[in-house]
């Protein structure tokens, strides 16, 4: 086992977790046993990754920007990053709309199933609507206001405020470039050392990854809803997975065409990060692993990966954007609504902008979905329809989110090298 690569250890842990969960599901005490004695280890694993998310973003961004030593180079990298992220997000939403309109998964759900699911999950839907209400009713520039923290210590105390931490780190790094090198050298050396320490902490945490994903998958299996409810949503799930698969294929083609890298090289390099993303359903929790794989295994310069990936974990949610498009149209189909072309174009715009502000934590996309449903005039009560299968699908779309981040980092790295 010691000689196995990390991704094989993680795969073995996932497989054992699924098998163990299926076995324990057959016993009356199984769910309680896993909840009391197995699930905590999965929670510890996720918490340990979240623990270093803020320090990693702060240290890596400040180090990455200060390494540039040239403000014009930063503007080139920042512009290329934001534009590329926006383009891939629009493409993702468009793919989602095409797939869901061709397959029409909502037409297969019976009235009886719809009523049963709404009855079972209506309380959860109410909670999500309440969380999203303040965002939906805020002014058009609220997202811009939320980027600038009034207190960096408070912002750094919550992983949901990553965009604020990124803003501060970028401002801090730019200021270091603009002052004389002899003045910035001591603090640069501090952040260089801090970054190395954080990377070593990542190594220590990742040695626990196979056990963490075992606990997460075993817990997911025993807590999954009954199959008679899941099978009515199987076509919806397959539609979303198909859309996500198309997006992964698109990423591979982009890497091949624009960077010249072999698809196997790209997929093998990012695989461990994809597996952690699948297990945690969190781009933020996976960020340390993504940064390690992109820099050390995909050959992206550290100054690029440390700048592009933290921003991507916050604003580049291609999988989430695609999911919002498919879920919105699916819910409309179950209610017998025929969305016009204008309404679906509105979904593209809203899902693109909404995904930028989605927190990089599990199930954040379903909260943002409320905004998309409201814009398109789709009943928000339809959220209850997708709660039953949202968790496993959230795992899949997180894989796409971090794969998109890795793809863009390789493109930006190639662009910077050319210039």
Q: What is the pLDDT of residues 203-259, one digit of tens each?
A: 788 888 889 889 988 887 887 655 545 566 788 889 999 999 999 999 999 999 999
58-78, pLDDT tens digit by residue? 887 788 778 766 666 667 777
CA–CA gap between residue 344 and residue 404 (Å, rounded) = 23
Would you say the pTM of this structure is higher than 0.85?
A: no
CA–CA gap between residue 164 and residue 172 (Å, rounded) = 12
Which one has a higher pLDDT value, 207 or 354? 207
The CATH code of the domain that includes 54 is 1.10.3860.10
Asked whether residue 360 is assigned to any structural domain, the reply reads yes
Asked whether residue 1 is assigned to any structural domain, the reply reads no
| Cα 118 versus chain centre, distance | 27
| Confidence category of residue 91, pLDDT binned at 50, 70, 90 | very high
Which one has a higher pLDDT value, 334 or 42? 42
DSSP state of 381: G
Asked whether residue 268 is assigned to any structural domain, the reply reads yes
| Helix, strand or coil, per DSSP, at residue 109 | coil
Asked whether residue 50 is assigned to any structural domain, the reply reads yes
Backbone angles phi, psi at 341, to 5 degrees: -60, -40
CA–CA gap between residue 305 and residue 291 (Å, rounded) = 6
Question: Which segments within 130-275 are labelled E, that is strand?
Answer: none
Tokens linked to 9: 């250890």
- Domains in the chain: how many in total? 1
Whether 287 contacts 199, CB under 8 Å: no
| Helix, strand or coil, per DSSP, at residue 378 | coil
126-147, pLDDT tens digit by residue? 555 555 555 556 666 776 787 8
Asked whether residue 106 is assigned to any structural domain, the reply reads yes
pLDDT at 108 over 80: no
Asked whether residue 78 is assigned to any structural domain, the reply reads yes
pLDDT score for 296: 92
Domain that holds residue 221: 6-418
| Confidence category of residue 193, pLDDT binned at 50, 70, 90 | very high
The mean per-residue pLDDT over the stretch 163-182 comes to 87
Whether 323 contacts 240, CB under 8 Å: yes
Task: Return the sign of the alpha-carbon dihedral for residues 345, 348, 349, 354.
Answer: positive
Tokens linked to 197: 């320490």
pLDDT at 362 over 70: no
Chain mean pLDDT for the chain = 81
DSSP state of 156: T
3-state helix, strand, coil in the chain (%, to 5): 85, 0, 15
Asked whether residue 311 is assigned to any structural domain, the reply reads yes
pLDDT at 398 over 60: yes
Asked whether residue 307 is assigned to any structural domain, the reply reads yes
């Amino acid at each position: 086992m010691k000689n196995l690569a990390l991704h094989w250890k993680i795969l073995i842990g996932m497989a054992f977790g699924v098998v163990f969960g299926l076995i324990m599901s057959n016993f009356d005490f199984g769910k309680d046993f896993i909840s009391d004695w197995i699930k905590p280890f999965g929670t510890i694993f996720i918490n340990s990754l979240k623990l270093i998310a803020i320090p990693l973003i702060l240290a890596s961004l400040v180090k990455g920007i200060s390494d540039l030593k040239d403000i014009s180079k930063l503007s080139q990298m920042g512009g290329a990053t934001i534009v590329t992220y926006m383009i891939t997000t629009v493409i993702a939403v468009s793919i989602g709309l095409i797939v869901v309109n061709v397959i029409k998964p909502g037409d297969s759900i019976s009235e009886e199933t719809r009523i049963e699911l709404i009855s079972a999950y209506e309380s959860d839907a109410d909670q999500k609507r309440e969380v999203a209400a303040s965002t939906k009713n805020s002014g058009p520039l609220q997202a811009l206001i939320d980027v600038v923290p009034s207190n960096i210590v408070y912002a750094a105390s919550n992983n949901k405020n990553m965009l604020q931490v990124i803003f501060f780190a970028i401002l801090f790094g730019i200021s270091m470039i603009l002052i004389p090198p002899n003045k910035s050298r001591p603090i640069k050396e501090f952040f260089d050392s801090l970054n190395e320490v954080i990377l070593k902490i990542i190594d220590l945490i990742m040695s626990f990854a196979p056990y963490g994903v075992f606990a997460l998958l075993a817990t997911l299996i025993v807590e999954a809803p009954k199959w008679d409810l899941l099978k009515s949503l199987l076509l919806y799930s397959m539609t979303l997975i198909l859309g996500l698969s198309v997006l992964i294929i698109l990423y591979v083609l982009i890497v091949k065409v624009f960077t010249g890298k072999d698809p196997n090289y790209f997929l093998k390099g990012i695989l461990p990060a994809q597996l952690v993303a699948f297990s945690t359903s969190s781009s933020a929790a996976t960020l340390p692993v993504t940064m390690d794989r992109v820099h050390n295994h995909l050959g992206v310069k550290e100054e690029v990966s440390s700048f592009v990936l933290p921003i991507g974990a916050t604003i580049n949610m291609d999988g989430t954007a695609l999911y919002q498009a498919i879920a919105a149209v699916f819910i409309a189909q179950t209610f017998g609504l025929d969305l016009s072309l204008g309404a679906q174009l509105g979904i593209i715009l809203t899902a693109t902008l909404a995904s930028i502000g989605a927190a990089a934590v599990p199930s954040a996309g379903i909260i943002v979905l409320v905004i998309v449903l409201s814009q398109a005039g789709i009943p928000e009560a339809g959220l209850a329809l997708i709660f039953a299968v949202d968790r496993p699908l959230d795992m899949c779309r997180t894989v796409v989110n971090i794969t998109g981040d890795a793809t863009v980092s390789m493109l930006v790295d190639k662009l910077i090298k050319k210039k």
